[in-house]
Amino acid sequence: MYAPLNISAAQVLKNTIWRTASLCCWMNRMNCKQLLMTIVLTGGLTAQIGVGADNSTAPASKLVIHADQAKDTISPNIYGHFSEHLGRCIYEGIWVGEDSPIPNTRGIRNDVVAALKKIKVPVLRWPGGCFADEYHWQDGIGPRSQRPTMINTHWGGVVENNQFGTHEFMDLCEQLGCEPYICGNVGSGSVQEMQQWVEYITFDGVSPMAELRKKNGHPEPWKLKFFAVGNENWGCGGNMTPQYYADQYKRYATYVRNLSGNQVYKVACGPSGANYQWTETLMREAGKRMAGLALHYYCGSGRKKQLAAEFDEGDWCAQLQRALRMEELVTKHSEIMDKYDPDKKVALIVDEWGTWHLVEPGTNPGFLYQQNTLRDALVAGVTLNIFNNHCRRVKMANIAQIINVLQAMILTDKDKMLLTPTYHVFEMYTVHHDAKLLPSEIQCGDYQFGSDKLPQVNVSASRDQAGKLHVTLCNLDPKNAAEVECELRGAKAARVSGRILTAPEMNAHNTFERPDALKTAGFDGARIAAGGFATTLPAKSVVVLELE
């Protein structure tokens, strides 16, 4: 039973009409004029029974966007992805083989490539993850019928047949139009093995590795910009101390050479979460020899490990609290990096991040296959806003993982494919790729559940090369709308339009039976106002606004 709010019936009616008018167009559920007539006829009843979960009397959030202070560019690589030989990410998700009845190009699924091109995948990390430090690249080249098999000891103990290797990965990147990001084996591999891999891929001369590449059907070298020297070497990559890894990094990285005009952007293994000592040691001992330092952080699964689509509001709140911790991690690691690199020549690379829920019932626990809900979409939205706002230091991020694993963009079931809520956030946020960050500040109320509270609204803004302004806003409150009043400094907008991702239920998600249950829609809940704009963000929503 809801307790009536201490406001007049007229005020309730006014607020209800405004909020509903903002919502009805994006919902596309009924004619707006008809809906407003219904509200007018029933407004008195609404006021008498009270309004639950309505913050319409709360003060509006105050947003300031400094459109005259655009300096830093948001790298599109912040919207990067991660693919590992794990579960059904590579096999079935990306690779089906040339003889598969599923439409493919040289063994790579056409439907997956088409979907990923729509989100403008800028960079793709491979082959791991923990798998990278037990992967020996020469097992994955040459005639497929002659490639040796191995046991994937990290992920399910299944047989890895090496049908997808260097040539197939580079082909995938070419089909997607993205940069390849390869992670080399420090944990169980040799310096020579890593040196020869880079030579095999990039050398345009006479050498054993270049000749081997030509023999295997690729006469011309590839361009390889990004190369990681090891993965999680504090854990599955060798359980090393930071000092020991710093020494190993310098040794291995020496032999990751720039060949035939190819310039390698070398990435060192960075910290896990709040391991600030690791960052301190690596920057002090090896900072001048790296282009990037890789941070890994997973924000878990609510208050406890649980199925992705089975949670309550307490879990919703806890999950988003953990996601927002990325702000603290990026800030503090950046401060340490600033001590040794005040000119910010070394990038912070967040090359593993996302949610981590229980696997879906009936699936291999080592395959990390999970559903993906509106809650995951909000995690993606706030995390990407954080990266945007720190784009002077954060130059790349790679969500884990691209297909069928953890917080995936795409789920597949044989020939079926669906797009997840997280995919839709990445598609909405493509407007930020290569745009200039517009610094912003927001004063907003808190979303509170029990004793826990967090800022209700999260935001980032940018100006694209055509001069359009884009603002991405997340309302973290699952029950209440948020009024936002924005002051645009240094710019004046004449028009505003938008798109939204939201749903009535917190755990809304897509299934193979209903693949379009949750998708984006047009949003008409924003209007131009004096000095800027105003908007009403529905509960639990991700909104992108375009201002001209």
Q: What are phi and psi of 18, to 5 degrees?
A: -65, -45
Q: What is the 3-state secondary structure (H, E, C) of 84-128?
A: CCCCCCCECCCECCCCCCCCEECCEEHHHHHHHHHCCCCEEEECC
Dihedral sign for Cα atoms in the order 320, 322, 323, 325: positive
Q: What are phi and psi of 499, to 5 degrees?
A: -135, 155
The Cα 163–Cα 167 span in angstroms is: 10
CA 317 to each of CA 288, 374, 382, 456: distance values in angstroms, whole numbers, following the listed order: 40, 13, 13, 11
Q: Per the residue annotation, which of 134, 232, 427, 483 is the catalytic one?
A: 232
Any catalytic annotation for residue 193? no
H or E element in which residue 425 lies:
helix 421-428
Any catalytic annotation for residue 160? no
> Which positions ≥6 away from 405 have C-beta within 8 Å?
84, 86, 87, 88, 89, 93, 367, 368, 369
CA 322 to each of CA 225, 383, 401, 444, 453: distance values in angstroms, whole numbers, following the listed order: 32, 10, 18, 19, 12
Q: What are phi and psi of 426, to 5 degrees?
A: -60, -35
Tell me the pairing of strands 80-82 and 394-400.
parallel
H or E element in which residue 243 lies:
helix 242-254
DSSP 373: B
Q: Per the residue annotation, which of 352, 360, 483, 487 is the catalytic one?
A: 352
The Cα 421–Cα 425 span in angstroms is: 7
Closest CA relative to residue 355, chosen from 423, 299, 273, 420: 299
Contact, 324 vs 454, CB < 8 A? yes
The Cα 25–Cα 27 span in angstroms is: 5
Contact, 122 vs 114, CB < 8 A? no
Token pair for 353: 């991040």
The Cα 124–Cα 394 span in angstroms is: 16
> Which positions ≥6 away from 155 have C-beta within 8 Å?
84, 85, 86, 87, 130, 131, 366, 367, 368
The Cα 265–Cα 225 span in angstroms is: 6
In one letter, which amino acid is 342? P
The Cα 411–Cα 419 span in angstroms is: 7
Contact, 421 vs 518, CB < 8 A? yes
Dihedral sign for Cα atoms in the order 216, 217, 219, 220: negative
Catalytic residue IDs: 232, 352
